[in-house]
Amino acid sequence: MNFDYSDEQKALKDQARRFLSAESPLSAARAVLENPATGYDSALWKKIGEQGWCGAAIPEVYGGHEFGYVELCALAEELGRALAPVPFASSVYQFAESLLHCGSEAQKHALLPQIASGALIGTLAFTEGPGVLTAERIETKYENGTLHGTKIPVSDGGIAQRAVVLARDDNGPGLYLVDLEGGGVSRRTLSSIDPTRGTASITFDGAPAEPLGKAQDGLAQLARIHDRAAILLAFEQIGGADRALEMARDYALERYAFGRQIGSFQAIKHKLADVFVKNEVARANAYYGAWALGSNAAQLPVAAAAARVAASQAFWFASKENIQTHGGIGFTWEADCHLFYRRARHLGLVIGSPRDWKRRLTTALQRQLAAEQAQGIAA
């Protein structure tokens, strides 16, 4: 039993925080906000690649550093705190995890070393429209080795070089690997709530593609990949939520009204205590998720959904109450509060909404309860 990072993991996390406070101040995220066409901070991305972070959980045999998943979670927490405007989540939590869990040996050997070094940006393209994604709603087709259709929106779709794409063939949905720099691909960058993590639509018109690993039920594969991404994203969310709380706390100490610090009013104190409690709920569930991810525990689907629900709610709550604590200044373009408000919603929707994940969580819990009852385990 150990509910904490190890000393080595803490040292890695501290080092990441120092690196990011120097290399990725909030002005870096703001620069992308002001100039969304850039899509990301390419200089920062290069430096993050040099740190070896992209390969933190990728096995050495595929060119990674194999530090482990808890280490990757620690890095994600720091990237979330910094609102780092880089395609880390798309490349590492989604694309690399797709390859690791569904790819063939040849595909892993070909692409994972480039992801690990930061040389390649990858993404996972699954959505085609508003609302819930079901098998019937997938219109993108895989025929004769090529893809046809449009995925919208695709996170970091404007800058990625490779994508794993959810498409259907005669047997149903499957995952396919495609080179976005090859023929038959056209893309359009899109305006979104959070320009500091770019988004695009990608249209395939006969783009050459290959099945990712063995042909399997693509939606089931996507669910497995998203379970893993959910936990890593939860760490970005708690990093952001903690920082939003710290901003609100610092402002409440610095701002005076009615002759006293506004942080001395219980209306503010109790609000920020509520933020703290939600962040703790998110952290507890995310830590459990990190353990489940690192140890491939049977509890992974429940832990992932719980981490995602709790962390999405916590970051939303912290980011909106941070603006409220700041008062009018918090509503201005110039203040940094809205960067967190935007990022909170981006992270909360990027692999499906909290509502979808609550549905997943209840289903996973029903399954767990049935299994416990079958085994005769007392609650």
Q: Which residues contact 277 (CB under 8 A, 6 or more apart)?
A: none
Q: How far is the CB of 346 from other proteins (least distance, A)?
A: 21
Judged by CB under 8 A, the residue of 274, 298, 327, 332 near other proteins is 274
Residue 236 in 3-state DSSP? helix
Interaction with other proteins in 313-372: which residues (CB under 8 A)? 313, 355, 357-359, 361-362, 365-366, 369, 372
Closer CB to other proteins, 121 or 300, in the complex: 300
Cβ-contact 329, 254 below 8 angstroms: no
Q: How far is the CB of 129 from other proteins (least distance, A)?
A: 21
Residue 2 found at the interface with other proteins (CB under 8 A): yes
Segment interacting with other proteins (CB under 8 A) among 131-139, 146-154, 187-195, 285-293:
285-293
Closer CB to other proteins, 152 or 281, in the complex: 281
Residue 27 buriedness (CB in 10 A; 0-12 / 13-18 / 19+): exposed
Judged by CB under 8 A, the residue of 108, 148, 197, 249 near other proteins is 249
Segment interacting with other proteins (CB under 8 A) among 87-95, 194-202, 304-312, 319-327:
304-312
Q: How far is 110 from 108, CA to CA, in rounded Å? A: 5
Q: How far is the CB of 133 from other proteins (least distance, A)?
A: 17
Residue 40 phi, psi (nearest 5): -170, 175
Judged by CB under 8 A, the residue of 30, 109, 141, 269 near other proteins is 269
Residue 254 buriedness (CB in 10 A; 0-12 / 13-18 / 19+): exposed
C-alpha triplet 142, 146, 151: angle, nearest 5°: 65
Neighbour tally for 358: CB within 10 Å: 16
Pairing label, strands 141-143, 146-155: antiparallel
C-alpha triplet 244, 248, 250: angle, nearest 5°: 115
Q: How far is 78 from 83, CA to CA, in rounded Å? A: 9
> Token pair 């949905």 is at which residue?
173
Neighbour tally for 88: CB within 10 Å: 26
Q: How far is the CB of 137 from other proteins (least distance, A)?
A: 19
Closer CB to other proteins, 278 or 345, in the complex: 278
Residue 288 found at the interface with other proteins (CB under 8 A): yes
Closer CB to other proteins, 106 or 277, in the complex: 277
Q: Give the x/- contact pattern for other proteins in 67-106, rule: CB under 8 A.
A: ---x------------------------------------
Residue 38 buriedness (CB in 10 A; 0-12 / 13-18 / 19+): middle
Q: How far is the CB of 283 from other proteins (least distance, A)?
A: 8
Closer CB to other proteins, 212 or 314, in the complex: 314
Judged by CB under 8 A, the residue of 17, 206, 294, 335 near other proteins is 294
The string of DSSP codes covering 158-179 is TT-SEEEEEEEETTEEEEEEEE
Q: How far is the CB of 242 from other proteins (least distance, A)?
A: 11
Q: Which residues contact 227 (CB under 8 A, 6 or more apart)?
A: 300, 301, 304, 305
Judged by CB under 8 A, the residue of 222, 310, 323, 351 near other proteins is 310
Residue 257 found at the interface with other proteins (CB under 8 A): no
Judged by CB under 8 A, the residue of 287, 315, 316, 341 near other proteins is 287
Residue 350 in 3-state DSSP? strand
Q: Which residue type does 271 have? A: K
Closer CB to other proteins, 21 or 264, in the complex: 264
Binding site for other proteins (CB under 8 A): 1-6, 70, 245, 249, 252-253, 260-261, 263-264, 266, 268-270, 272-274, 276-277, 280-281, 284-285, 287-288, 290-291, 294-295, 305-306, 309-310, 313, 355, 357-359, 361-362, 365-366, 369, 372, 378-379
